[in-house]
Amino acid sequence: MKDKKINVCILGATGSVGQKFIELLSDHPWFKIHEVAASDRSAGKKYKDAVNWIMQSELKKEYGDLIVKKCEANMESKIIFSGLDASVAGEIESDFAQNGYFVISNARNHRFVENVPLMIPEVNPDHLKLLNDQDYTGGIVTNPNCSTIGLVLALKPIADAFGIEAVNVVTMQAVSGGGYPGVPSMDIIDNVIPFIGGEESKMETEPLKILGELNGRKINYADIKISAQCNRVAVIDGHLECVQIKLKKKTTVDEIKKVWNEFKSVPQEMKLPSAPEYPVKYFDEDKYPQPKLHRNQGLGMTASVGRLREDALFDFKFVVLSHNTIRGAAGGTILVAEMMKSYGYFDKVLG
């Protein structure tokens, strides 16, 4: 059974997202970490010597002893998870896809290419069909920005049931979202930084593609106005977001709670290994959700919502929390790969 697993390679394996990939894939039932790669600074070293391991679980010896490779498209594994820095991800990922590899990426570079799916498996599973229009011998699929994912998971059941006209969101984002070592400790302890470069425009545009409709070979973007303000706060993991929404149809607090609690989608039906039982979970307690208490709901794959109430300016307001390096990065990407495997997309490169 063990050798039936699919070999995978992790690009950017030494980074914050890369380490989360190692942790989450260590005992994965379908995928086996076969190769790791990073920059020239790390290449040639044993993984355990190249990485500053910041995960809470122990690094397994078999992965610690892997030799870090250069990010060149000559890997034995055909399935590539990318946690590469955006300054280099674009070119490297294209090169892999052109050379017969499937790349599932966390970097922003290819998210808005017309025939590249921008995936949240519970939200837009049909968008994977865009892969059929890519000219690569392999393919590229992307994961959204970490703050987009929690927001869109919360919006999806509401959009389906009542339609959404406008969204205003203010984020309180964890330091791990900026990679390792991230913001200097002198800047973030006892502080909030009201700016994260590029983040607001990602939050204002990515949901429109993800919530858009597949129309033949392209996505018709959703017609929703979104305004975002993004802040970095002194939390290690877990992005908390305060959201206001204006809806197309009239509804009630109870009806919105009901559509959240009943929300299940294709990953739950397919029983994919990383799919949480509840993609969205509502908390009735006034003080919930909180990063420290709830970021690991559904093994870090559930978006926790709470504090839903009517709003004087928009129609409703609420709070959503999601784990930025699990659901917002490595875990979300692994769920995409599980869906791609189940739909048979990997057959073309695995033979």
Task: Determine the Cα–Cα distance for residues 149 and 126; give it in Å rounded to an integer.
Answer: 17
Helix (H) / strand (E) element for 47: namely helix 47-50
Whole-number Å distance between alpha carbons of 180 and 189: 16
Q: Of 180, 226, 235, 220, nearest to 203 (Cα)?
A: 226
Q: CA dist 80 to 18, 21, 111, 283, 349, Å? A: 12, 11, 16, 36, 11
Residue 313 Cα to chain centre, angstroms: 30
Q: Looking at beta carbons only, is 79 or 329 nearer to ligand NAP? A: 329
CA–CA dist 4, 21 (Å, integer): 20
Three-state DSSP class for 139? Answer: strand
Q: Nearest residue to ligand NAP, using CB?
A: 15
Tokens 């690991």 appear where?
Answer: 296
Helix, strand or coil, per DSSP, at residue 16: helix
Sheet of 31-38: strands edge to edge?
A: 69-70, 31-38, 6-11, 79-82, 102-105, 139-142
Active-site residue, selected from the candidate residues 28, 110, 127, 239: 239
Minimum CB separation of residue 147 from ligand NAP in Å reads 9
Which residue type occupies 127?
H
The DSSP string of 259-293 is HHHH---HHHHTT-TT--S-SEEEE-STT---HHH
Return residues touching ligand NAP (CB under 6 A): 12-18, 38-39, 41-42, 71, 83-86, 88-89, 106-107, 146, 176-177, 179-180, 324-325, 328-329
Rounded least distance, CB 250 to ligand NAP, Å: 36
Closest distance between ligand NAP and the C-beta of residue 236, in Å?
Answer: 11
Q: How distant is the alpha carbon of residue 115 from its chain centre?
A: 19
Q: Which is nearer to ligand NAP, 9 or 84 (CB)?
A: 84
Q: Rounded to 5 degrees, what are φ and ψ at 163?
A: 75, 140
DSSP state of 211: T
Measured distance CA(276)–CA(264) in Å, rounded:
9
* 127 noted as active-site residue: no
Closer Cβ to ligand NAP, 106 or 244, answer by number: 106
Q: Which is nearer to ligand NAP, 34 or 264 (CB)?
A: 34
Q: How far apart are CA 308 and CA 239, in angstroms?
A: 18
> Is the Cβ of residue 200 or residue 315 nearer to ligand NAP in the bound state?
200
C-beta of 38: minimal distance to ligand NAP in Å? 3
Q: Could you tell me the sign of the dihedral formed by the alpha carbons of 318, 322, 30, 349, in that order?
A: positive
In this structure, what DSSP letter does residue 105 have?
A: E
Shortest CB 281 distance to ligand NAP, Å: 21
Residue 20 or 78 having the CB closest to ligand NAP: 20
Minimum distance of ligand NAP from residue 200's CB (angstroms): 15
Least separation in angstroms between residue 254's CB and ligand NAP is 34
Instruction: Report the residue number, 148 or 168, with the smaller CB distance to ligand NAP.
Output: 148
146 catalytic? Reply is yes
Choose the catalytic residue: 9, 71, 146, 230: 146
Catalytic residues: 146, 239
